């Protein structure tokens, strides 16, 4: 259900030590933010960190022909499983269609229903909806997700709706309630989402009561 949206190897490793994620999503901005010049080696480092989990790698070129060439390079260096993130643009749709028979395609930067449906027609099997970016420009991401899921179920499309671009736990909850199959979140949001002060206080009380009654920190010391 959850993926990590990051290209920081240490942050990914730390998050996966405690939480369970289905994989990792990256994009050119997240990759560039790490200030590494060895793009392919960076991809390999992320894959070593996540093991058999899926990595979503975004193509960077502006034309379909160059996207196809990039896909060939990635196929020669990246280990499966991985999916190619391709933007829902004029050139992106063409690249999706050309690559769908040999690669798993995830249409990214989707902000409208027609974009989502054209991406599906072009061969995408994951539709990445930009939730916060839509909200910040006055669009309605949750309505898009609901409509897309309804159409997918009516037509029996074998797709996954992946929510992305989140700034709060509330946005994540709303995206899942609207019908997202999965969401990708930053490592920083993971702590906010999965760790709650009330739970921590309750557990501390349990621990104090156990230690007071049994004079031990755990059953191992009994």
Tens-digit pLDDT profile for residues 77-121: 999 999 999 999 999 999 999 999 999 999 999 999 999 999 999
pTM of the entire structure?
0.95
Q: Which listed residue (85, 94, 215, 220) is catalytic?
A: 85
Residue 24 pLDDT level (bands cut at 50, 70, 90): very high
pLDDT of residue 39 exceeding 90: yes
Residue 130 pLDDT level (bands cut at 50, 70, 90): very high
Mean pLDDT (the chain) is: 97
The residue written with tokens 């609901």 in the block is 146
For domain 2-193, give the fold: TIM Barrel (3.20.20)
Phi and psi angles of residue 119, each rounded to the nearest 5 degrees, phi first: -65, -40
Nearest to 122 by CA among 157, 149, 75: 157
pLDDT of residue 45 exceeding 90: yes
pLDDT of residue 36 exceeding 80: yes
85 in catalytic set: yes
Q: How many Cα atoms are found within 13 Å in the side-chain-facing hemisphere of 171?
A: 23
Can you tell me the mean pLDDT for 195-211?
Answer: 96
Encoding tokens for residue 196? Answer: 């709650």
Distance CA 105, CA 54 (A): 12
Distance of CA 203 to the CA centre of its chain: 31
Residue 220 pLDDT level (bands cut at 50, 70, 90): confident
The pLDDT value recorded for residue 221 is 81
Distance CA 116, CA 161 (A): 10
The pLDDT value recorded for residue 150 is 98
Exposure string for 135-172, b = 16+ CB within 10 A, e = fewer:
beeeeebbebbebbbeebeeeebebebbbbbbeeeebb
């Amino acid at each position: 259900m959850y993926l990590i949206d990051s290209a920081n190897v240490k942050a990914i490793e730390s998050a996966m030590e405690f939480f369970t994620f289905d994989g990792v999503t990256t994009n050119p901005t997240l990759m560039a933010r790490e200030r590494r010049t060895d793009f392919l080696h960076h991809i390999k480092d992320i894959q070593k960190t996540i093991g058999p989990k899926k990595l979503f790698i975004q193509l960077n070129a502006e034309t379909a022909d160059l996207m196809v060439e990039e896909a060939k390079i990635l196929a020669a260096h990246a280990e499966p499983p991985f999916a190619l993130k391709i933007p829902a643009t004029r050139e992106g749709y063409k690249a999706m269609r050309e690559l769908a028979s040999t690669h798993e395609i995830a249409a990214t930067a989707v902000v409208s229903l027609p974009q989502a449906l054209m991406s599906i027609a072009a061969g995408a099997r994951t539709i990445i909806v930009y939730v916060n970016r839509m909200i910040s420009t006055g669009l309605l991401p949750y309505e898009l997700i609901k409509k897309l899921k309804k159409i997918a179920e009516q037509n029996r499309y074998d797709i996954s709706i992946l929510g992305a671009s989140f700034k709060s736990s509330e946005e994540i909850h709303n995206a899942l309630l609207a019908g997202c199959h999965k969401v990708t979140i930053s490592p920083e949001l993971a702590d906010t989402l999965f760790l709650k002060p009330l739970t921590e206080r309750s557990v501390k009380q349990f621990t104090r009561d156990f230690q007071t009654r049994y004079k031990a920190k755990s059953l191992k010391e009994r």
